[in-house]
Amino acid sequence: MATTIEQPVKTKAEPELLGFLAEFDDPNALIEASKKVRDAGYRNWDTHTPFPLHGIDEAMGIKWTILPWIVACCGLMGGTIAISMQWYMNAYDYPFLISGKPLFSIPACIPIVFELSVLLAAFGAFFGMLGLNQLPKLYNPMFKSEAFRRVTNDRFFISMDAKDAKFSEIDTGEFLKSLNPTNVEEFWSDVESPKLPRNLKLGLSIVGVLMIMPPALVAYKRSTTTNTPRVHIVPDMDFQPSLKAQNTTNVFSDGREIRPNIKGTIPRGQFKDDNIPFYYGLKYLPEDQDVVTIAVQDEKKADAKPAEDKKADAEKAPATKPAAADPAAAAAAEAKKLDELPWVTEFPMPVTAKMMARGKERYRIYCSACHGLGGEGDGLVTLRAMDLQQGTWVKPASYHTENVRKLPVGRLYHTITNGVRKMPAYGPQIPPEDRWSIVLYLKALQKSQQIDANTLPEDVKRKLRDTK
Amino acid sequence: MASVTAEPIDTTIEVPGKRTPLVTGAHDYGTVTDAVCRLAECKTPKAWYLALGVSACLMGMLFGLIGYLIITGVGVWGNRSPVFWGWPIVNFVFWVGIGHAGTLISAILFLFRQDWRTGINRAAEAMTIFAVVCAGVFPGIHIGRVWLAYWLFPIPNQMAMWPNFRSPLLWDVFAVSTYATVSLLFWYMGMIPDLATLRDRATGKIQQFAYGLFSLGWNGSSRHWHRYERAYLLLAALAAPLVLSVHTIVSFDFAVSQLPGWHTTIFPPYFVAGAVFSGFAMVLTLMIPARKICGIEDLLTDRHLENMTKVIIATGTMVGYAYAMEFFIAWYGGNRYETFAFINRAFGPYAWAYWIMVSCNVISPQLFWIKKIRTTPWMIFVVCVFVNIGMWFERFVITVTSLSRDFLPSSWGYFKPTIVDVLMLIGSFGLFMTLFLLFCKFLPMVAMAEVKSVMPRPGGHGDH
């Protein structure tokens, strides 16, 4: 340590004259003086004012700044970054398909392009200004002048730099005095070293390195793979103490995590046993309750299953379910089971004109698309499907065939509820009252095709003729 | 020396062919500096400590509640089906709107060479920054898992995912953060020369160091001023469209959705007008007491207040027009959901909020047509408080009424804020006021350099 003291300190030199400061208390006087300095041919000089003094630029001969060009370049850069970023992120690297919109389209890019252009242009204006002005420069020898402190308040100064080619200690001083300033003073270089203390630099760099370490560690961890579980600072819902279905546990005596329903449990809205004809279309529930939810499967659809699947099915269910091996036979068996059920033949509720009107409306909403307005199986969907001839469409049966006409109302109700072949179950969509209304309207449709026109009253006949 | 006539003058009188001075009282350059620096230099009044104490407590409450929210979850808010955009988004849009007046005053009035802005622009810009800080809090905590807020930004991550740039919510992230950054730069750059003034007058070591650091060694060089003015002009030119874009994009959050009452093309201009309206009201609410307490009535004259009330009449009328036009289009467009949404706003379960909004925003600014009200500070203050209340309710009505009753009656609901909602709104005012009080105490409240440049020069040189 002792050696450093003995070393000659270079900055312990004689202070040298850096320039002159001429003080004015009137902005107009400063402008007049500036013109004279300019005309005298000085280059390295400046004026200092508490506010931007209009007219001083011409008086000093200041050229226009290139700042607008810097700002324009920064703005363009911002726009380019924005548009390429959006293309790369949403259309190329991580294609983001949302409701069929194009992956990349200019209109959707505009807001971000605008914002980033403005942001970078603003950075250009601010940092460009600081850079061109060589700021921040916290130390300035002029600041040692007591008088110069009023430059940011109400005084106006001319500073003359000793580096100027025309500068001379006596002549320049005299020249400045001739401009009628209130005061002229000199400013000198420092005797002390303007350098920062060595330990400060060391301390700052240590603090800097320490500050970089945590984010660097995080970045490293986030960009590398690992075999061990990550540290979860906030565990979110990654680890939950809840039991999972299909696992075993020692909490319950039966060792199951999933709990079976308690005997006699009825899901909400499922208690229907007090009115079986109304809810099921049956006089009473058969022993095998599963049959009431049977929907006769589409034979063609079952046939269309790949051969391997069929084989697998057959292996899984060998003797007990021979039906699985032959879908057509299975469908026939299901239909047979349904035929044997105790279907109601009367409506389990009073039949009214209002119900008929409701049934007509519901029929037209839900059924007519396939079955046609007259129930002939010629709805628009059916017509188009037949037109396309793709072979997977089963044409709905006409209501006016002998078979369908003979079906009891309970069976028709069941078909609406659970579906048949291509027809999906409408139970979840149509409430029971409406299903019965539709059955009623369907019965009326069937009747309308079976009546001898001559038995009709005269006014109905006339009406029919007129609407023909 | 530059001095202005000492006789008291009524600055609100129009004299044809003669410009009203922007600074009244016997002021020269030095006394302007003294007046502005006084609060930073002399002993702090007790009232300031009291005000800071109250607002800091409210701010503490806000931070406490944020902590509670993060630990417990966003369920502490009243946001639940179907109103998931409740109070926090209302507060966000409200605070972002408040910010707009600052940038408008400093940028657009600067571009239009409105010299009267010099008295108010600094405080208005400060208000902008603080309002944007308050605004930023709410969407930040509204995302639920605050620690994952960085997902909003396009930062590479190990999930190899990028944010969706076609979402207006992401545009919002960019718009608000750009707005905050540019406003901060604009405010700070305008303050550099004034910070240098404070540095040169500072007596304490700490003040000298702090002001010295932030004034970046400014020495008033004319060569520096030349580039500085150019940079200021460019920043103003950039900030002006930015103001319009920010609230336009905030309105896209609503307008791009399909919800009746939100899906309207009038939203961008309507939101911008509303933002300017509420922002000017907030500037006046703050400046009327502040100029009294800080004793800067000579720099911030009745004329300034009157000019701002005129902006409020204009924007308030635009907002009123927008309300009427929304109703008209809802009827004229023939969309039954849209029609219902507006009838429901005015006569449904939130009718009380709607009519508070209409009376505060449409009726109260019209009082400014009366010159007596326009030139009496306390009356202006009262009206502006009403406008602030009304504009908060406007955001509430837009956000909550549409969500609570959309297409399906089966999914209707009534939004009720919780105590946490209410206290957070109050707490955000605490945050705002704390920042503003610190600003009044430690930073130059009036742009000294700019005021000096519009004062009459000695010798009758020029008219500025």
Q: Do the domain assignments include residue B155?
A: no
Residue A393's domain is classified under what CATH number? 1.10.760.10
**Total residue count of chain A as it appears in this document:** 468
Q: Do the domain assignments include residue A239?
A: no
Q: What does the pLDDT look like over A145-174, one tens digit per residue?
A: 888 888 888 888 888 888 877 777 777 778
Nearest to A119 among B181, B193, B227 (CB): B181
A346 contact B CB<8A = no
Q: Are B373 and B383 contacting, i.e. CB atoms less than 8 angstroms apart?
A: yes
- Supply A165's token pair: 């080619």
Q: Which of B70, B75, B126 is nearest to B99 (CA)?
A: B126
DSSP B6-20: -S---TT---TT-PP
Q: What does the pLDDT look like over A270-326, one tens digit per residue?
A: 777 788 899 988 988 888 777 777 777 765 554 444 444 444 444 444 444 444 456
B3 pLDDT exceeds 50?
no
Q: Provide Rg for chain B, Cα atoms.
A: 23
Same domain membership, residue A279 and residue A146: no
Is the predicted ipTM greater than 0.85, yes or no?
yes
Q: Are the beta carbons of A48 and B464 separated by less than 8 Å?
A: no
Most confident of the following: A54-68, A448-462, B308-322: B308-322
Most A CBs within 10 A among B166, B243, B244, B246, hence the mutation to make, goes to B166
Domain end position, chosen among A140, A159, A188: A188
Q: Are B139 and B74 contacting, i.e. CB atoms less than 8 angstroms apart?
A: no
CA distance B7 to chain A (A): 23
Across A74-98, average pLDDT: 91
Distance CA B147, CA B67 (A): 12
Q: Are the beta carbons of B171 and A50 separated by less than 8 Å?
A: no
> Residues of B with CB below 8 A from A133's CB?
221, 223-224, 227-228
Q: Do the domain assignments include residue A331?
A: no
DSSP A110-174: HHHHHHHHHHHHHHHHHHHHHHHTT------GGGG-TGGGGGGTT-EEEEEETTSTT--HHHHHH
Domain end position, chosen among A135, A155, A188: A188
Same domain membership, residue A137 and residue A283: no
Task: Look at residue B302 in the predicted model and tell me its pLDDT.
Answer: 85
Q: Do the domain assignments include residue A213?
A: no
Across A90-100, average pLDDT: 85
Q: Do the domain assignments include residue A247?
A: no
The total domain count for chain B is 1
Q: Are B116 and B145 contacting, i.e. CB atoms less than 8 angstroms apart?
A: no
Q: Do the domain assignments include residue B160?
A: no
Distance CA A424, CA A417 (A): 9
Distance CA A230, CA A226 (A): 8
Nearest to A135 among B33, B216, B222 (CB): B216
pTM: 0.73
The total domain count for chain A is 2
SS3 percent helix, strand, coil of chain A, rounded to 5, is 50, 5, 40
Q: Do the domain assignments include residue B173?
A: no
Q: Do the domain assignments include residue B366?
A: yes
CA distance B19 to chain A (A): 19
Q: Which residues touch A193 (CB under 8 Å, ≥6 apart)?
A: A9, A11
3-state secondary structure of A22: strand
Q: What does the pLDDT look like over B323-333, one tens digit per residue?
A: 999 999 988 98
Distance CA A164, CA B441 (A): 43
Same domain membership, residue A159 and residue A278: no
B248 pLDDT exceeds 60?
yes
Q: Are A363 and A441 contacting, i.e. CB atoms less than 8 angstroms apart?
A: yes
Residue range(s) defining the domain that contains residue A352: 273-288+338-467
Residue range(s) defining the domain that contains residue B327: 45-145+180-454
- Supply B243's token pair: 């103001």
Q: Do the domain assignments include residue A59?
A: yes
Domain end position, chosen among A173, A188, A203: A188
Q: Do the domain assignments include residue B34?
A: no
A58 contact B CB<8A = no
Q: Do the domain assignments include residue A399?
A: yes
H-helix or E-strand spanning residue A46: strand A45-48
Same domain membership, residue A161 and residue A277: no
Q: Do the domain assignments include residue A201?
A: no
Distance CA B248, CA B423 (A): 29
Q: Are the beta carbons of A52 and B228 separated by less than 8 Å?
A: yes
Q: Do the domain assignments include residue B299?
A: yes
Q: Do the domain assignments include residue B106?
A: yes
Hey, which residues 156-175 in chain A have their CB within 8 Å of chain B?
157, 159
- Please state, rounded to an integer, the average pLDDT across all residues of chain A: 82
- Supply A317's token pair: 């269910």
A138 contact B CB<8A = yes
- Supply A17's token pair: 């004259």
Q: Do the domain assignments include residue A38?
A: yes
Q: Do the domain assignments include residue B18?
A: no
Distance CA A464, CA B102 (A): 78
Q: Are the beta carbons of A118 and B182 separated by less than 8 Å?
A: yes
